[in-house]
């Protein structure tokens, strides 16, 4: 269902698991009674009652209008700081688009008291993670760090809120404008279907509507922007009175408020911000639009205008979208995907502050004909079928079960809770929006769903967009009958500024002094247990009582590694079929049962293993495990399921053949390992190998792969060990011995100093991969040390490679390098997507940085930075059940001692630059590496040859 089923409410388990809600409320009263810093007012204090869903918080306001929301969570030694500004691309003007997103980039370029690149370096060195995001309605910035780093984060955020402009230079602006262009090229122009949404929205929204242009902006508008425009945008929208500061985690509230007052109180208010109008979008008739793209599968998207976020009809429309196109139990899945007319199809109801829309998309299956007109007819027949089908009691029950389950799972990180508090406050003016959402979604009736169907969907005009392969205009659903107009370009990027908004704030203390760090935090490393089931399957687990949930992963050693090269793709296809029918129930019946439980059971496969993931509320674990037993031990192997999944896999491979990222990964594996060993061939298979697979192949692989001898289990649950082990009895029914890995063929020789070029005509960017084979994974040997050595070269945002190619040259949206290791093999890779016109220059810069690092290694400052970042970052490693499961799996997979983390810490803190530089000298000789580039051969090959490389054409 969308946001309300994914992560809206964030405290069901908090209320349900809290041992003493009365104590929480008493603490709230105590804090409320504490003398607050001058100019700080307590607005609201909330703690959920027993059984109530909600996140405890305190809401304050500073005299300058800044809203502050605090949430205590002492379960892990970390904090998340989120600053959300209520400004997105909706505050831009036609012809002046992209400013909100461009400004997100500018906010990381240093401020008056924080040097260039220092913001990112400080957060990374603190062991934290950080980012910023922009959408139509808001821009947010966040850091998650060990809790002893909180004051430093407030210093950073306050300095860029109040003191950014003195450090904003023309050079910084130009570099970030190029970075945004690279981001657009990578995410939009160079990606199949990348321009779909922005063209669709032009037809969907009225001329000049704030959602009619893309958040990232039009290229011409980015070129039109000036440094002064950016400065004006900051002055207009980045005042504290248009911001919410949300802090959650292991905090002392009184101390936190004192710091907030110190760092933010002297920042002056910005101009007044008034809400934007929300007129409902309407269409006078159905609009048909189309575009040709470098794609294999024709795509159809249909959109119907509805309401806006928090409108009374939003919940019923969400449920309508779920019934029509929300997965295997939906009408659209039944009529389009299961019947083979579409490779994928779904309906959803995305909502933003000013508008929502019901959208349905379908990727045509060429096996049933690639024309989109019949697909449109099928979709409209499915919509009409809903009127006859109606809404069932189970529809409502399923929605409520999913709602409750997803809410509880969303409690598993401080970041998630802080994000929800910030969003509710920004858009509702109340961090406690959960209760209202629960009430309005639980109140939806069958009559409500039918009513919104009649009002917004039945016989209503829509926008219908066809995306077809180059030269495939005959496949479109109908001839275009609409072309967007171009309103007059706005004279100014920003309006509403006054003279008093240009005055620089004055601070009452020396902001050039970076705050000190409190004492080191104590790591909460999970306490692990190890056991075996009756059939000798090893189980490793830990108890995690923060949420009443259970996550179980069953790993079957083998995967792509044990399938013959001639049958590549068999492991993944077998997993797909296991996700379908059993001997007792159809896939639809099983999906319905799982949705009513709010649970997930999913098979998958990759290069070295097949996997079964089980995720459920612990209260439903027994019922979920009964379904696991049926799906794992009684697969249906229905011919129709096999044929449909095989056809979908074939069409997906055809689709991926035009995706530059996929092309580069496939080509790089072939370059390093050849196509005579499994690791050199994609686990997706090839068109040739997949087309030859049979249902008997799947049955045979199932018997070979899904055995007790191949299985290992990782479990994270709020249940204690012995109680959880009894719940795993269905897994103890597995039988069969382990499957040995087949012998691999000899690997190819890396020639070095050669560029292998995969042609992608008209590519807006080139994908560059530089690398060689190295060593397999180890926890404390050369592999581990190699990644320590690589950290300043390409392992962090402010590494040499990224600062050069992104921040200094503006060639790319991001560039990095890493050592990657598995059980048998490993490799080094440096990579980045660069502007097509600077492919040769970018490659030269990559090689310059690798060459210099190979020769001289890291500096003393880089060693200190690496040590601080990696050692302090351990505080972030075990917060969620997902992270705990990953930690356990690494121990289990590589047979590591439980204390290997301590040994790694000791190594990080004591390894010398001399030792790490010797590692770099051993493994990072650029002349021992080959280069793979995916790009427009005609445009980039001459420049590569000028660099002196032998350029070899490569076919996939």
Provide the phi-psi class of 310: left if phi over 0, else alpha when psi is between -120 and 50, else beta. Answer: left
For residue 354, what are its two tokens? 């000013």
Q: How far apart are the first and last CA of the chain?
A: 38
Tokens encoding 862: 């880089």
What is the model's pLDDT at position 557? Answer: 97
| CB of 392 closer than 8 Å to CB of 348 | no
Using an 8 Å Cβ cutoff, are 295 and 475 in contact?
no
Q: From residue 937, how far is each of 831, 843, 847 by CA, in Å?
A: 18, 15, 20
Architecture of domain 287-475: 2-Layer Sandwich (3.30)
Q: What is the pLDDT of residues 615-651, one digit of tens each?
A: 999 999 999 999 999 999 999 999 999 999 999 999 9
Q: What is the pLDDT of residue 348?
A: 95
User: Could you give the CA distance from residue 604 to residue 555 in angstroms, rounded to a whole number?
Assistant: 10
Q: What confidence tens digit (pLDDT) does each residue in 392-426 have?
A: 999 988 888 887 888 788 778 899 999 999 999 99
pLDDT at 498 over 80: no
Q: Are 441 and 634 in contact (CB under 8 A)?
A: no
Residue positions counted in the chain: 956
Lowest mean pLDDT among 13-17, 380-384, 918-922: 13-17
Q: Quick: pLDDT tens for 114-168.
A: 998 899 999 999 999 999 999 999 999 999 999 999 999 999 999 999 999 999 9
Q: Are 871 and 909 in contact (CB under 8 A)?
A: yes
In this prediction, residue 501 carries a pLDDT of 58
Q: For the chain, what percent of residues have pLDDT higher than 70?
A: 96
Distance between CA atoms of residues 97 and 221, nearest Å: 6
- The mean pLDDT value of the chain amounts to 91
Residue spans of the domains in the chain: they are 92-107+168-235, 287-475, 528-733, 754-953
Of 52, 46, 40, 42, residue with least CA distance to 16: 52
What architecture is the 754-953 domain classified under in CATH? 2-Layer Sandwich (3.30)
- Model confidence band, residue 502 (pLDDT cutoffs 50, 70, 90): low
Instruction: Report the CATH fold assignment for 528-733.
Output: Cytochrome Bc1 Complex; Chain A, domain 1 (3.30.830)
Alpha-carbon distance 550 to 544, whole Å? 9
Is pLDDT of 22 > 50?
no
Nearest to 768 by CA among 817, 711, 810, 723: 817
Determine which helix (DSSP H) or strand (DSSP E) holds 849, and give its type and residue range.
helix 839-856
92-107+168-235 is classed CATH 3.40.50.720: no
Q: Which residue has the tokens 């660099």?
A: 947
Give the pLDDT of residue 200.
97
Please tell me the distance from the alpha carbon of residue 254 to that of residue 389, in angstroms, as a whole number. 57
Contact 707, 565 (CB under 8 A): no
pLDDT cut 90: percent of the chain above it: 78
Domains 92-107+168-235 and 754-953 equal at CATH topology level: yes
- Band of residue 185 on the pLDDT scale cut at 50, 70, 90: confident
pLDDT of residue 500: 61
pLDDT tops 70 at residue 6? no
Of 178, 171, 169, 156, which Cα lies nearest the Cα of 102? 178
pLDDT at residue 34, as a whole number: 60
Contacts of 66 (CB under 8 A, 6+ apart): 240, 241, 243, 244, 245, 264, 267
Element (H, E) at 845: helix 839-856
Token pair of 489 as six digits = 């370009």
**Helix, strand, coil tally for the chain in percent (to 5):** 45, 20, 35
Dihedral sign (CA 732, 736, 738, 739): negative
């Amino acid at each position: 269902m969308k946001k309300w089923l994914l992560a809206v409410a964030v405290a069901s388990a908090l209320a349900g698991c809290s041992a003493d809600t009365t104590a929480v409320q008493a603490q709230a009263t105590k804090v409320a009674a504490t003398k607050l810093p001058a100019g700080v007012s307590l607005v609201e204090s909330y703690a959920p009652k027993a059984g109530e869903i909600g996140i405890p918080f305190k809401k304050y306001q500073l005299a300058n209008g800044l809203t502050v929301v605090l949430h205590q969570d002492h379960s892990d030694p970390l904090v998340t700081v989120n600053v959300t500004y209520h400004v997105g691309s909706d505050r831009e003007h036609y012809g002046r688009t992209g400013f909100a997103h461009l400004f997100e980039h500018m906010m990381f370029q240093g401020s008056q008291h924080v040097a260039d690149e220092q913001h990112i370096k400080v957060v990374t060195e603190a062991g934290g993670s950080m980012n910023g995001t922009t959408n139509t309605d808001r821009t947010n910035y966040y850091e998650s760090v060990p809790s002893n780093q909180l004051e430093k984060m407030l210093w950073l955020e306050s300095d860029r809120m109040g003191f950014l402009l003195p450090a904003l230079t023309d050079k910084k602006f130009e570099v970030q404008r190029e970075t945004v262009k690279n981001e657009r090229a990578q995410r939009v122009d160079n990606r199949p279907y990348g321009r779909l949404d922005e063209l669709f929205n032009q037809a969907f929204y009225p001329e000049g509507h704030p959602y009619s242009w893309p958040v990232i902006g039009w290229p011409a508008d980015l070129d039109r922007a000036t440094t002064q425009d950016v400065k004006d945008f900051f002055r207009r929208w980045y005042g504290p009175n248009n911001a919410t500061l949300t802090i959650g985690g292991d905090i002392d509230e009184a101390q936190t408020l004192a710091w907030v007052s110190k760092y933010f109180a002297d920042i002056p208010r910005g101009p007044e911000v008034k809400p934007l109008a929300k007129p409902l979008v309407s269409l006078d008739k159905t609009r048909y639009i189309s575009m040709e793209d470098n794609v294999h599968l024709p795509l159809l998207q249909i959109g119907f205008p509805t309401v806006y976020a928090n409108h009374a009809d939003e919940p019923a429309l969400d449920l309508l979208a779920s019934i029509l196109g929300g997965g295997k139990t939906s009408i659209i899945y039944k009529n389009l995907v299961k019947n083979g007319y579409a490779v994928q199809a779904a309906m959803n109801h995305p909502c933003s502050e000013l508008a929502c829309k019901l959208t349905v998309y379908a990727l045509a299956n060429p096996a049933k004909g690639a024309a989109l007109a019949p697909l449109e007819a099928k979709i409209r027949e499915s919509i009409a079928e809903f009127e006859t089908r109606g809404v069932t009691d189970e529809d409502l029950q399923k929605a409520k079960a999913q709602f409750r389950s997803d809410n509880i799972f969303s409690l598993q990180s401080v970041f998630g809770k802080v994000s929800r508090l910030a969003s509710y406050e920004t858009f509702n003016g109340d961090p406690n929006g959960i209760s209202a959402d629960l009430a309005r979604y639980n109140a939806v009736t069958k009559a409500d769903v039918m009513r919104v169907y009649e009002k917004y969907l039945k016989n209503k005009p829509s926008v219908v967009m066809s995306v077809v392969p180059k030269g495939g205009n005959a496949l479109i659903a109908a001839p275009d009958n609409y072309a967007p107009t171009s309103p007059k370009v706005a004279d100014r990027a920003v309006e509403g500024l006054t003279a008093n908004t240009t005055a620089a704030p004055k601070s009452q203390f020396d902001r050039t002094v970076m705050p000190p760090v409190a004492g080191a935090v104590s790591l909460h490393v999970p306490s692990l247990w190890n056991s075996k089931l009756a059939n000798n399957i090893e189980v490793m687990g830990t108890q995690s009582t923060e949420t009443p949930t259970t996550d179980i992963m069953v790993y079957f050693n083998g995967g792509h590694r044990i399938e013959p090269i001639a049958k590549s793709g068999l492991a993944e296809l077998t997993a797909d079929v296991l996700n379908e029918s059993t001997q007792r129930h159809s896939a639809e019946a099983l999906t319905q049962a799982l949705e009513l439980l709010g649970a997930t059971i999913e098979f998958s496969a990759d290069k070295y293993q097949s996997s079964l993931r089980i995720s459920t509320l612990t209260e439903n674990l027994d019922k979920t495990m009964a379904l696991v037993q049926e799906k794992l031990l009684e697969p249906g192997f229905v011919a129709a399921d096999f044929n449909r999944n095989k056809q979908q896999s074939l069409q997906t491979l055809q689709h991926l053949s035009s995706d530059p990222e996929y092309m580069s990964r496939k080509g790089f594996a072939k370059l390093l390992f050849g196509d005579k060993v499994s690791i050199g061939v994609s686990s997706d298979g090839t068109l040739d190998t997949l087309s030859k697979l049979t249902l008997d192949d799947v049955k045979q692989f199932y018997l070979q792969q899904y055995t007790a001898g191949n299985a290992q289990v990782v479990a994270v649950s709020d249940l204690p060990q012995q109680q959880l082990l009894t719940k795993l009895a269905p897994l103890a029914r597995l039988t069969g011995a382990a499957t040995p890995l087949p012998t691999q063929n000899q690997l190819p020789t890396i020639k070095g100093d050669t560029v292998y070029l995969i042609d992608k005509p008209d590519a807006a960017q080139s994908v560059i991969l530089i690398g060689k084979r190295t060593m397999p994974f180890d926890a404390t040997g050369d592999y581990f040390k190699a990644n320590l050595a690589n950290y300043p070269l390409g392992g962090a945002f402010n590494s040499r490679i990224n600062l050069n190619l992104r921040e200094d040259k503006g060639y790319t949206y991001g560039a990095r390098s890493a050592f990657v290791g598995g059980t048998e093999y490993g490799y080094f890779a440096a990579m980045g997507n660069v502007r097509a016109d600077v492919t040769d220059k970018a490659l030269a810069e990559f090689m310059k940085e690798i060459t210099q690092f190979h020769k001289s290694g890291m500096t003393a400052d880089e060693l200190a930075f690496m040590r601080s970042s990696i050692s302090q970052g351990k505080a972030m490693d075990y917060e969620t059940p997902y992270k705990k499961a990953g930690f356990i799996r690494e121990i289990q997979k590589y047979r590591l001692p439980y204390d290997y983390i301590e040994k790694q810490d000791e190594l990080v803190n004591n390894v010398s630059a001399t030792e790490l530089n010797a590692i770099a000298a051993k493994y990072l000789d650029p002349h021992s590496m080959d280069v793979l580039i995916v790009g427009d051969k005609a445009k980039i090959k001459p420049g590569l040859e000028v660099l002196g490389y032998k350029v070899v054409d490569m076919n996939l």
